[in-house]
């Protein structure tokens, strides 16, 4: 059987995903402020390395997600430099 999905349900699901992503970004920024620039740059390197391995195993979608994660950590490092570096 098929379930009818209403636009409101789709929007609520998208909002939940976005809220979860915002919370992950907040956690990453908190970690940067607590530990310094080494945390986000190390995480970005780790994610890039993992993405390369995933590509070698033919896991392109997973590799793309890892690279997006690396971008988030790199952005956190830039934000730290611009706002919190003293």
Predicted pLDDT of residue 20:
83
Express as a percent the part of the chain with pLDDT over 90. 36
| 66 to 17, 18, 24, 33: CA distances (angstroms) | 17, 17, 14, 23
pLDDT band at 79 (very low <50, low <70, confident <90, very high): confident
The structural domains of the chain, with segments of one domain joined by +, span: 7-83
DSSP label at residue 5: -
The Cα–Cα gap between 12 and 22 comes to: 15
Predicted pLDDT of residue 6:
72
- Check: CB of residue 80 under 8 Å from CB of residue 40: yes
Closest C-alpha among 45, 1, 82, 71 to residue 53: 45
Q: What DSSP element (H or E) covers 62?
A: helix 60-83
Mean pLDDT over the full length of the chain: 86
């Amino acid at each position: 059987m098929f379930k009818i999905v209403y636009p409101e349900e789709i929007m609520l699901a998208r909002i939940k995903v976005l809220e979860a992503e915002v919370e992950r970004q907040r956690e990453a920024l908190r970690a940067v402020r607590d530990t310094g620039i080494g945390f986000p740059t190390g995480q970005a390197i780790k994610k890039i390395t993992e993405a390369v391995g995933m590509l070698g195993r033919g896991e392109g979608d997973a590799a793309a997600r890892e690279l997006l994660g690396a971008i988030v950590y790199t952005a956190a490092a830039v934000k730290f430099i611009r706002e919190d570096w003293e």
